Amino acid sequence: MEIRSSIISTLPRWIVPVSMVLLSFFSIFLIANSVWAADNKIKAGERLVTVHDRGEEKSIISNKTSLREIFKEMEITTDPNDIVEPAIDEQLLGNNYQVNIYRARPVTVIDGKQRIALMSAYQTPREIIEHAGLAYHDEDIAEFTSSSDLLNVGNGVQLTIDRALPVQLNLYGNRTTVYTQAQTVAEFIKEKRIKYEKSDTLSVKLGDKIWGNMKVEIWRNGKQTVTRTESIKYGEKHIQDTDRKVGYRQVKTPGVHGKKEVTYEIVMKNGREVRRKVIQTVILQESRDAVVIVGAKPEFDGNFADALAKLRSCEGGYNSWNPAGPYYGAYQFDQGTWKSVSNAPYGKATPAEQDAAARKLYLQRGWQPWPVCGASIPDIYR
């Protein structure tokens, strides 16, 4: 005690009171932080919602089940032209959401002599142009520019469209309208990937300049050809929602089928077709994949999940195809059996949808549908 007293006595007088003040402040901070953490703990039925709006971030813990209700709590107002992701009236089931608000701003779309002023929250040129009610071809070019014309355009953004020229193409007897940014016929043929041979007949010269609605005809001499317009099927991009049960499907963005022109060379013998081959394919319109939100919340426990994993390791992967059946997927379903246990698209099902289909089939028939790979798995899950 004498040593401690001597040490304290040698310290400057101001150090002891300052140290006591700092210690008290730190203790108050720890207590306040503990109280805040306790008050802000997410309870059952509540969710943490973080809103990103105009570069700012706001958070709230709420028991409301839609963003419209939560926005009222947060005193956030939106315009009908604004875009909110997730959707403002979508039912909220999870406990943590990141919300983006894309604010509509004034945009002037300039299409030749036509000017269209609108409020739009869309970000890409195609989306804005289609929002304005105008057609937009893949070959068109659109660029954002700042406006100096405050009288006619205002203080917003302007989007200028450089339209591709239409060309009336007759390819081996099939007439169609295509669009191009090419300057000459030679560039046009290269752009459209047309397989032009020297023996072909071309109605114009390769060096001729392209003009609007120009007619270009290409014929293949001495060979019989048939051209068909065929569909290009769109695919699906899946967004897995672990808060929704397997089987839930919501189309967020519809898919669009593409179109292509396929020219076939046909060999006829004694009035019958004996050979056909593709000699030319021209893409008229690219397909656009659908974006689909699918449920991925499993309906079974880990023990059965382990059994399915063992079955998969023997049968195949989620994208496996066996042409013998054909058999598809991780559990090698044929199409008839698949339709009896699942409404998901055959050949395009998500892993969670395939697991759910396998479970339903197992509950009906045990491991019998998989006589080889299921033989070593105990039938104890139904």
Predicted confidence (pLDDT) per residue in 284-310, tens digit: 999 999 999 988 777 666 788 889 999
249 and 211 share one domain: no
Predicted local confidence at residue 13, as pLDDT: 58
Pick the closest to residue 160 from 125, 130, 133 (CA basis).
Answer: 125
Give the model's pLDDT for residue 221.
Answer: 63
**If you average pLDDT over residues 47-71, what whole number do you get?**
95
User: How many CA atoms lie within 13 Å of 36's alpha carbon, on the beta-carbon side?
Assistant: 6
What's the average model confidence in pLDDT over 233-245?
Answer: 87
pTM: 0.53
CATH of the domain at 291: 2.20.230.10
Which has more pLDDT, 132 or 147?
Answer: 132
Q: Are residues 218 and 251 in the same domain?
A: no
Task: Examine the pLDDT at 167 and tell me if it is beyond 90.
Answer: yes
User: Buried (b) or exposed (e) across 50-68, using 16+ Cβ within 10 A?
Assistant: ebebeeeeeebebebeebe
Task: Judge if 178 and 157 occupy the same domain.
Answer: no
User: What tokens were used for 305?
Assistant: 């999940």
Residues 218 and 228 in one domain: no
Percent of the chain with pLDDT strictly greater than 90:
57
Q: Please, where are the H alpha helices in the chain?
A: 2-10, 15-39, 67-74, 125-131, 185-191, 302-315, 335-341, 351-365
In this structure, the answer to whether residues 288 and 231 fall within a common structural domain is yes
User: Has residue 140 been placed in a domain?
Assistant: yes
Residue 358 lies in a domain: yes
| pLDDT value at 127 more than 90 | yes
Is 234 found in the same domain as 291? yes
| 303 and 350, same domain (yes or no) | yes
Q: Is 177 helix (H, G, I), strand (E, B) or coil?
A: strand
Q: What is the mean pLDDT of the chain?
A: 85
Worst-scoring range by mean pLDDT, 124-138, 141-155, 224-238, 354-368? 141-155
Q: CA 323, 329, 331, 337 torsion: positive or negative? A: negative
Tell me the C-alpha distance between 282 and 264, whole Å: 12
* 18 domain residue, yes or no: no
Q: What is the rounded distance in angstroms from the CA atom of residue 172 to the CA atom of residue 152?
A: 48
Count of domains observed in the chain: 5
CB 122 within 8 A of CB 106: no
**What is the pLDDT confidence band of residue 367, given thresholds at 50, 70 and 90?**
very high
Among 25-39, 191-205, 333-347, the minimum mean pLDDT is found in: 25-39
Distance CA 348, CA 218 (A): 39
Q: What is the pLDDT of residue 266?
A: 79
Instruction: Judge whether 17 lies within some domain.
Output: no
Looking at the fold, whether 205 and 217 belong to one and the same domain comes out as yes
Among 162, 190, 211, identify where a domain stops: 162
Same domain, residue pair 72 and 84: yes
Q: Tell me the backbone φ, ψ of residue 38, rounded to 5 degrees.
A: -70, -40
Length of the chain: 382
pLDDT at position 268: 66
Helix (H) or strand (E) holding 237: strand 236-245
Q: 36-45, 86-95, 282-291 — which is least confidently predicted?
A: 36-45
Supply the pLDDT for residue 333. Answer: 95
pLDDT (0 to 100) of residue 317: 86
Q: Which domain holds residue 64?
A: 47-102
For the ranges 36-40, 224-228, 325-329, the one whose mean pLDDT is highest: 325-329
Sign of the torsion angle spanned by Cα atoms 119, 120, 121, 125: negative
**Which of 262, 290, 257 is CA-nearest to residue 278?**
262
Residue 213: inside a domain: yes
Residue 32 located in a structural domain: no
Instruction: Tell me, yes or no, whether 14 lies in a domain.
Output: no
pLDDT in the model for residue 331? 93
Q: Are residues 157 and 181 in the same domain?
A: no
Statement to judge: residues 292 and 244 lie in one domain: yes
Q: Does position 14 have pLDDT exceeding 80, yes or no?
A: no
CB 279 within 8 A of CB 228: no
Q: Average pLDDT of 141-153?
A: 75
343: helix, strand or coil: coil
* Res. 269: pLDDT tops 50: yes
Question: pLDDT higher for 150 or 87?
Answer: 87
Of 128, 143, 162, which residue sits at a domain end? 162
pLDDT confidence band for 4 (50 / 70 / 90): very low
Does residue 5 lie in a domain region?
no
